[in-house]
Structure 1
Amino acid sequence: MHLGPDQPPLLVDAITAGGGRLTGLNDADAVVWTGAPSDFPTLPTQVRWVQLPSAGVESWFQSGVVDADSDRVWTSAAGAYADSVAEHALALLFAGVRALPGQLAATSWDQAGFGAQVRTLRGSLVAIVGCGGIGRALIPLLSAVGAHTLAVTRSGRPIPGAVETLPAERTAEVWGRAHHVVLGAPATGQTKYLLGASELAQMKSTAWVVNIARGSLIDTDALVEALTEGRIGGAALDVTEPEPLPDGHPLWTLPNAIITPHVANPPSALAPAFAQHVSDNVSRFARGQALAAIIDPASGY
């Protein structure tokens, strides 16, 4: 098994713990890659599995790294960072629903003004559109505060803990039903501007939208218009389009927008989580078991 181009000790230990043995690339039957798509090498024909370091894989498709025409198995880090990102999603939703940004910035007592803005998640219906690993980790957190979850997945198979699960082709039903929406879908041609002017127009006037997936899921111009006119409660975004969000962009100053700079998966949590994911997959590979987070070239994720 080849680890490259960097060989951090944490990943070396993870591979060993999973039952793998490090080799040079030419002798490897599997590769754990730590670099960018631009650094990716030409693989020997005997490589049967490649572990990529990111949960989102659109850049690996755009660069032509993922080979859809071979029998080689590709896996992403999808799910590895779910707990950390779910925690951030809940924090963003709480911040919006509880009107925390304005209160934290306030320099005078305004109980009546802020009291009118503060709401609760208890009893609310939160739609998770793209309910993968992050969504599954978020459901029990929402349940703990008394919120209910409406899950949307590609297949529509029931998700544990969700009061209802819909297939992707029924996504249009959630915008008007949900009290709040969390976007967790992958970035593909089918999900670009998943939330646009039409969808925003259907949302409740108090609804918050949280995006912890990819900025391209939201039509930013349509969102700015909806926020400016107060047609939804607000938006809390850890990812944006464009990204980084430029200085002077309206989203920085709108009172019903919360921006965090793509830190839902902080560096302190990233390396250990990826190492555990690698160790688990190396163990699966060694035992001939199905790998976690297999990429489907036909779907683009």
Structure 2
Amino acid sequence: MTSSHAQPTRIALGPEVDDLLADAVVRGGGQVVDLADAEALVWAGDDPARFPAELPESIRWVQLHSAGVEHWFDAGVIRRHPDLLWTSAAGAFSATVAEHAFTLLLAGVRALPEHLAATTWRQREFFAKVGTLRGARVAIIGAGGIGRAMIPMLTAVGAVVIAVNRSGRPVPGADEVVTADRVDEVFGRVDHVVVAAPATADTRHLVGAPQLAKLGPRSWVINVARGPLVDTDAVVDALRDKQIGGVGLDVTDPEPLPDGHPLWTLPNAIVTPHDSNPPSVRAGAFADHVGENVRRFVAGEDLVARIDPEAGY
């Protein structure tokens, strides 16, 4: 992928030129140019409808702004240019999302939602509700960037981590790795589940009634991936029946979660409005991601967060 000439690798920015991204391109060894003259395109927009219908033949690589790219596939953008190298922002925001997931899980296990709602001293009752992550078995389904960033947080408090990924390759810090085709086996073996997998046709309702039935009455399910990976109706039923301990959801199905939905009022549900990756940290994290991928592109190295058009993510 290394440019054959001595000039800096030509990178276009869209839909507008952003100074933070322009600096990142230069740091990575590139030069910001117009799209017509570019070898690569960094697209900071989230709306596929604004993406150029046609790209110059000189473009060899496109960097997208989002970590989840299902809407880019749904819109046909990636499939319209199958010969290009595409990368997502997967991993760019891993640290903050992992921090959020860990917070949701720890808050649930320590019964913080009920503590916060309490208006009287209920010590004896809470003695039976408050748990610990020390010695707990936690499954991370989709042990990519977010999962890998979360593992040190879990192991620091003494949790045992089972990582689920497609390849079965070892995951640093995980006590065990299970391949994705065996994910259903995991639910009966763990105390808590964190969902951080990509959204595809195969992962829709990855956590549904059959999986929830294998968990215990103190188990918490955390979803920081995409709403459709968890069957919302099944979760509501499981919470009402006290089949599981609770859920922590930064993403929901439907999203936004409508006013009046049962998840807003169930005491063992924590819902945050998809803000695990707030704007206050997003811009800088994406710029760092762009700078590293530009450096790799210039050097002819493998890029971070490469999208597989066949797999759909």
Distance 1:108 1:172 in 2: 41
1:5-20 correspondence to structure 2 within 5 Å: 5-20=15-30
* Structure-2 change in CA distance of 1:67 and 1:180 (3 Å): same
**Deviation of residue 68 (structure 1)?**
6.5
Instruction: Answer yes or no: is the 8 Å Cα contact 1:125–1:179 preserved in 2.
Output: yes
Note the alpha carbon deviations across 1:209-264, whole angstroms, 9 max, x for none.
Answer: 00000000011001100001000010000000000000000000001100000011
**Deviation of residue 115 (structure 1)?**
1.7
Task: Name the residue aligned to 2:116.
Answer: 104
Q: 2:172 aligns with which of 160, 168, 173?
A: 160
Task: Name the residue aligned to 1:191.
Answer: 203
**Deviation of residue 69 (structure 1)?**
5.9
With normalisation by structure 1, the TM-score equals: 0.99
Q: After the TM superposition, which parts of structure 1 deviate over 6 Å for at least 4 consecutive aligned residues? A: none
Q: 2:259 aligned with 1:247, yes or no? A: yes
Distance 2:312 2:133 in 1: 34
Instruction: Answer yes or no: is the 8 Å Cα contact 1:68–1:297 preserved in 2.
Output: no
Opposite residue 31 of structure 1, the aligned amino acid is L
Task: Name the residue aligned to 2:270.
Answer: 258
Note the alpha carbon deviations across 1:36-91, whole angstroms, 9 max, x for none.
Answer: 21100021111000000000000000001103663210000000000000000000
Task: Name the residue aligned to 1:272.
Answer: 284
Task: Name the residue aligned to 1:3.
Answer: 13
Partner SS, residue 164 of structure 2: strand
Partner SS, residue 97 of structure 2: helix
Of 198-207 and 51-60, more deviation after overlay is shown by: 198-207
Unpaired segments of 5 or more residues in structure 2? 1-10
Task: Name the residue aligned to 1:142.
Answer: 154
1:115-126 correspondence to structure 2 within 5 Å: 115-126=127-138
Q: 2:42 aligned with 1:32, yes or no? A: yes
Opposite residue 83 of structure 2, the aligned amino acid is D
Unpaired segments of 5 or more residues in structure 1? none
Distance 1:203 1:107 in 2: 30
Distance 2:182 2:81 in 1: 31
Aligned length: 301
Give the RMSD, CA atoms, in angstroms.
Answer: 0.9
Of 31-40 and 59-68, more deviation after overlay is shown by: 59-68
Distance 2:117 2:213 in 1: 29
Task: Name the residue aligned to 1:300.
Answer: 312
Distance 2:82 2:57 in 1: 10
